[in-house]
Structure 1
Amino acid sequence: MSHTASDADAGEAPSGLALGHTGEVARRGLLLASFALLLLVGLALPHAAAPDLGPRGWAPGTLLPVALSPAVVTGALWTAYVLGAVGVLLAVLGRGTELPRAVVAALAVGAALTAPFGSGDHVSYAAYGRILALGDNPWVVSPDTWRGGSDPVVSAVEAPWTEEPSVYGPFATVVQGLTSLGGGDNLRQTVWLWQLVVIASWLAVRWCLRRILPGREGRIDAVWTANPLVFSVGVLGAHVDLLATALAVAAVWAAHRYAGLGGAALAGTLAALAISSKFTYAVVLLALVVAFSARRVARSAVLLVAAGVVVGGLQLWAGPNVYDQIGRSARAVSLATPWRWVFETLGGDADARRVVSVCAAVLAVVFALCLWRLVRPAESSVGARALAAVAVLTGAYAMAASYSLPWYDVVVWATLPAVVAGVADLVLLLRLWVMTMAYTPGRVLGMTPGVEDVTMTVRTNVAPVAMLVVWLWLVTSAVRGGFRRPLAGPPRGSAPRR
């Protein structure tokens, strides 16, 4: 498919915000320090942010035999997130720089040598995969009851998820089951295979974006590849959101690359796999329908039929209990959002949950309208328009949802390269930074009382106020007519590509 507009065509005129040599050196130094701290935390012995995965088997072991205290881990991560956020800010304000392949490869290898940190979710993935691989139903059986709680992998699930069946879709659980078959009864081996899936997903997003958005390689690396916050919560955290994000972006790539009905069918299939990994990724279907020309009714129909067939088939295979947990998780309320205050003010009961859920849904619509005024696709191609729509829809959901975590933002930043740099980048960066700071170190175990008091204060008192600031900034920017002026222009000498 030919590209009908380039960066320059989209109105990104040269800007006076170029960083210059000193600013570029500072940006690189900030990002280097941030990545180094993150890798240090991932390469160290198990600590407050990283659960003990037991004997390493044939998987990589701990490369840095250093014991980090809860205070040091928290301080290192907070420092990395501050430095990383400033580095990304400078990249957004500037023109972005394409990363050499050697740097991308080094980051991928470094991630493969770490142990995941920031939550215990990867241990839950290993448990659900093992339950499926050994013939039972992970959407019905909870880890603490399966086989008497004595399995060497499943018994490692940490609170508060020991009593919770899987909340993930059938495709993600199949992938988790395959990693379990490869890892056997060794938790570290199973988790490492899952890490490889996540790293491959991170690289696949970059590959797809570079083909959907030729000429924007610098912006792709600025907001995705060289974004320490995304790298930490997505790649080093080994979250399933990265797999779903890669499938969603691949669906857009398929629709962009192949203009016929075959491309629509492939896009629908990939979108269905994303939905069958995490249900909230259904927005990619809406984004593609919006991006298709109104005259392409047949293309939209094939897209939706293909997605329905794949989702339906996986649903029939997995059974009726696959989405039992979605209703419960949709009514949960995070500690770091302003909704927690509303929930507790209303009494903290079931009625309060329903009120918060309805209000959050309404606010998500409002935020989507606000973001729609603030963003502009960098190109007029199907791929760019679809990615921009996904950025709007997922960004609004992540900010408004009553239950929201920092890794929910991964898909937002995977799609932002398709958008002309503007105030939406800054709003979304502040949102991601607040959430990463709030959910450090991320686990509920392994902290000293002092560290727990400090981190919970940030999560329950500071973060909700900061999120209110984010909400206010977004709404006021949109009300003022939308800040559609670009923050930066294309690299000098860039030309339209066909």
Structure 2
Amino acid sequence: MLDFRPGTPPESRPSPPTAPPRRSPVSHAVVTGCVGSTLMVAAILCRFAPMPVTMALSLTGMGLVVAAWLLLGRRHRQLPPRSLYAIAAAWSLPLVAATPLFSGDVWSYLAQGLIAATGQDPYTLGPLQALGAASPVTQHVSHYWVETPAPYGPAWLTVSRTVAGLTGEHLVTSVLLYRLIALAGVALIAWALPHLARRSGADPSSALWLGLLNPLVLWHLVAGAHNDGIMLGLMLCGMEIALRGTDRGRNAAGPRIAAGLTLLTIAANIKVVGFAAVCCLAAALARRHGRPFLTVLGMLLGSATVTVAISLGSGLGFGWIGAIQSSTAIHSWLAPTNLVGFLIGAIGRAAGTNLTDTAIEIAVMLGAAVCAVLVARLLWAMYQGRLGAIRGLGLVFAAVVLCGPIVQPWYLLWAVLPLAAAARTRRNRTVLAVISALIAVALPPLGASAQLIIVGYLAAALLLAGIALLHRSELHVAQAAPIPRQRTISPARQGVPRGWSSVTPW
């Protein structure tokens, strides 16, 4: 193996030329996401830029984050959960310092908390009636909800009342507290997703990429500070803890199931839609016990007991049950049932008749009937064991969202997060990623006129195309650049007789 022929000593031989180091696709995606998140926040916080420039740059930042997320999806299995947690923190950090984006619901939270803190009933009074038009909080509430009572459960109103008691009408401090609450929910999601993925036979890294790093989580739970964050965190943790009880012996199962059911019920008392998770857990546990009817009855009675305790213990009573309908006062253009009503209304207007409101009411009732049938079939499949508990939970929420009377972009997370934890095939992950990416770019971070939004999207598309072309050209040049070759010195010039090797052959 060794060449003892005379030649150039090893220490005097020139080292072979090396290609310039290239950034790995993972690090490139991470940096791109950080740049996009920072650009979006910086454009919005800049007070001197014209609104068209702000809109175009913020949408460009959104596009960079979504592109980075999709690019990272090609390599996410190479990363351990700890690295994905670090990436999520890096992408979220700029958004924590931003004003509420994509929605002004946080101002409604503060107004409803102030109403409860002043001893008034937030389930019968809206911000305008209870706080008055001169209140700075009322002035920040959207005109859609300024006269609308609170549609949230007593658990959330208790949290809002506590925040209002600590901050009063101090807007900045209130937003920071609500954002901390949302981040606590995101932390619970980050803990639950890999555990639920292992339980479902899926890859934990895939669940974290598709769920925790999802742009919808960054936009609406971190930047928007929606109460869906803490609701989803409690719900996913409750499912994991309760299902862990089924893995233990009978003595250890009871406390774990009770703790999980309590977390699920608290989540449902933040947003009533969380009661769907209680039904899913009851169906999953009924199959594993010999008395399914008694199991389901015990779960429902236990959840009802916790709900009564929260309603009475908070002093808010049961007015939230009648106030739930207040959230459907606005016709959401994303809801399929409303789209059907809008289409029929447009046909009626062409014929000289106004049918929009009536058509939407009928479509909503039909949607509720279809939703009841779908949910019943899914619960039955979970009871029979043909559908896993986590995947079934995601499909139940998908039916609720698709058939519901109002749909917001962050509502999609109700279904996406459980389905991300149960996605075992590449096809399922691809479908969820495509839907999430499309919805993520469908709503701008700031409200503006339709004309300005269209111009902003066109400008952002041009900027992103230019960035992509520039990156592609730089990559092409780097790949096409020849590696400098070392000049070969003949043996005679090195003082080596001709015919003798000056380089050791390997």
Normalising by structure 1, report the TM-score. Answer: 0.71
| Structure 2 CA distance for aligned equivalents of residues 278 and 348 of structure 1 | 31
Q: Distance in 1 between matches of 2:377 and 2:53?
A: 39
1:141–1:165: 8 Å Cα contact kept in structure 2?
yes
Superposition pairs for residues 53-452 of structure 1, below 5 Å?
65-90=46-71, 92=73, 96=77, 97=79, 98-100=81-83, 101-107=85-91, 109-214=93-198, 216-259=203-246, 260-292=253-285, 294-296=287-289, 297=292, 300-316=296-312, 317-330=315-328, 332-344=330-342, 345-346=344-345, 347-362=354-369, 364=371, 385-415=388-418, 416-441=420-445, 443=447, 447=448, 450-452=451-453
Deviations 1:223-252 (A, max 9, x none): 122222321122111111111101111211
Structure number, greater radius of gyration: 2
Q: Alpha-carbon deviations, 1:9-48, whole Å to 9, x = none?
A: xxxxxxxxxxxxx9994465345434433344335555xx
- State the number of aligned residues: 408
* Counterpart-to-counterpart distance in 1, 2:82 and 2:48: 32
- Richer in helix (by share): 2
Structure 2: distance between partners of 1:319 and 1:195: 27
Contact 1:170 1:318 in 2 (8 A): yes
SS at match of 1:322: helix
Tell whether the 8 Å contact from 2:155 to 2:270 is kept in structure 1 after alignment.
yes
Q: Is the 8 A contact 1:252 1:288 kept in 2?
A: yes
What is the deviation of 1:355? 1.4
* C-alpha distance in structure 2 between counterparts of 1:308 and 1:24, whole Å: 55
Change (3 A) 1:442 1:115: closer
d(CA) in 2 for partners of 1:262, 1:301: 18
| Cα contact 1:272–1:310 (8 A) shared by 2 | yes
Matched, 1:29 2:55: no
| Structure of greater relative contact order (alpha carbons < 8 Å, 6+ residues apart) | 1
**Conservation of the 8 A alpha-carbon contact between 1:367 and 1:400:** no
Change (3 A) 1:82 1:112: closer
Secondary structure of 1:149's match? Answer: coil
Mean CA deviation greater in 229-238 or 350-359:
350-359
Contact persistence 1:331–1:354 (CA under 8 A): no
Shift of 1:407: 0.5
For the aligned residues, what is the CA RMSD? 3.6
Q: Judging changes above 3 Å, is the alpha-carbon distance between structure 1 residues 80 and 452 closer, same or farther for their aligned structure 2 residues?
A: closer
- The 1:449–1:410 alpha-carbon spacing in structure 2 relative to 1, beyond 3 Å, is closer
In structure 1, what is the Cα distance between the partners aligned to 2:318 and 2:416? 33
List, as ranges, runs of 4+ consecutive aligned residues in structure 1 with deviation greater than 6 Å.
365-372
Q: Percent same amino acid among aligned pairs?
A: 21
List per-residue Cα deviations over 1:57-114 (Å, max 9, x = no partner). Answer: xxxxxxxx55454434433444344444444445556553334254444445444322
Report the CA distance between 1:222 and its aligned residue.
0.8
Q: Is the 8 A contact 1:333 1:403 kept in 2?
A: yes
Aligned to 2:471: none
Q: 1:185 to 1:68 in 2, by over 3 A?
A: same
CA change 1:370–1:433 in 2 (3 A) is farther
- Counterpart of 1:252 in 2: which secondary structure? helix
In structure 2, the residue corresponding to 1:161 is in which secondary structure?
Answer: coil
CA contact (8 A) 1:264 1:302 kept: no
Cα distance in 1 for residues equivalent to 2:283 and 2:230: 24
The answer to whether the Cα contact below 8 Å between 1:31 and 1:87 also exists between their aligned partners in 2 is yes
Report the Cα offset of residue 349 of structure 1. Answer: 4.5
Corresponding residue of 1:38: 37
Q: Does the 8 A contact of 1:81 with 1:229 survive in 2?
A: no
**Cα distance in structure 1, aligned partners of 2:114 and 2:141:** 12
Tell me how far apart the structure 2 counterparts of residues 209 and 413 of structure 1 sit (CA, whole Å). 11
Matched to 2:207, the amino acid is I
Deviation at 1:139, TM superposition (A): 1.4
Q: Deviations over 1:396-417 (max 9, x none)?
A: 3223434211110223232122
Q: Which amino acid aligns with 1:75?
A: A
SS in 2 for 1:294: helix
* TM superposition shift of 1:135: 1.8
Structure 2 gap ranges (5+) = 1-20, 247-252, 346-353, 459-506
SS in 1 for 2:128: coil
Contact 1:111 / 1:199 at 8 angstroms: preserved in 2? no
User: Whole-Å Cα distance in 2 between the matches of residues 34 and 348 of structure 1?
Assistant: 46
Give the CA deviation at 1:288. Answer: 1.0
CA distance in structure 2 between the aligned counterparts of 1:271 and 1:395, rounded to whole angstroms: 18
| 1:361-383 CA distance string (max 9 Å, x none) | 355468779999xx99xxx9xxx
Amino acid at match of 2:284: A
Aligned-pair distance for 1:360? 2.5
